[in-house]
Amino acid sequence: MEYRLINVLKQYDDGAVTALNRINLYIEKGSFVSIIGPSGSGKSTLLNMLGALDTPDSGQVIVNGVDLASQKDLSDFRRHEIGFVFQLHNLIPNLTVQENVEIPLMDAKLSQKEKHKRALLFIEAVGLLDKKKQKPNKLSGGERQRVAIARALVNLPSIILADEPTGALDTRTGAKVLDVLRFVHESINATLIIVTHDRDVARLADRTIEIRDGQIINDYYNR
């Protein structure tokens, strides 16, 4: 899916804090984009706008030609079109790896057998097939993050939004997580957008958008 942001303004504390200052941005379908900037720059707010988790005070967020403000059920849009990957993976502790990954498929028009097969396919993709019956407390931080990625991708989203997906991981595990994200992005031609403070991670994307004080100060292609 493609995005077009037109003059997007977002403020907090009755206008005292401007998180996004009239942002204009176009993101092509199927692209891999990184968003960088210091803490408080507005990058996570921008990701929330793209994920329909927040709404602008003014301006438009348009996805595939449709203004999100005109959508009656944004939760349905998020559930079917977007795969969210957060630094805090929020796995359900009393469910197994496989059961956690199957959660987004609960209302999918698939048989139970097909749901199991789809979940196992993505668990295998993140290298955790041997841990499918484990509970989250038996996994390392990196393994839990990979489960979260499998869960985010199992419904084949058009858009993958990742907020600091490697922030709490060591270098080796972080590289594995990024490899998985890139592999799935390329396999299903999903638009992949990663928020990061790490410039080495940002350079892996095709395009980098740098934000400071709620404004885009740099926008360039890495290749």
pLDDT for 133 equals 97
Q: Which amino acid is at 218?
A: N
31-44+74-221: CATH homologous superfamily?
P-loop containing nucleotide triphosphate hydrolases (3.40.50.300)
Strand partners, 160: 83, 192
pLDDT tens-digit series, residues 187-198:
888 999 999 988
pLDDT tens-digit series, residues 200-209:
899 999 999 9
pLDDT tens-digit series, residues 61-91:
999 888 998 888 888 888 888 999 887 778 9
Give CA–CA dist 205/219, Å, rounded.
12
pLDDT tens-digit series, residues 110-122:
999 999 999 999 9
Q: Which amino acid is at 159?
A: I
pTM across the whole model = 0.89
pLDDT tens-digit series, residues 97-154:
999 999 999 888 899 999 999 999 999 988 899 999 999 999 998 889 889 989 998 9
pLDDT for 107 equals 82
Decide: 150 and 126 in contact? Cβ < 8 Å: yes
Backbone angles phi, psi at 41, to 5 degrees: -80, -20
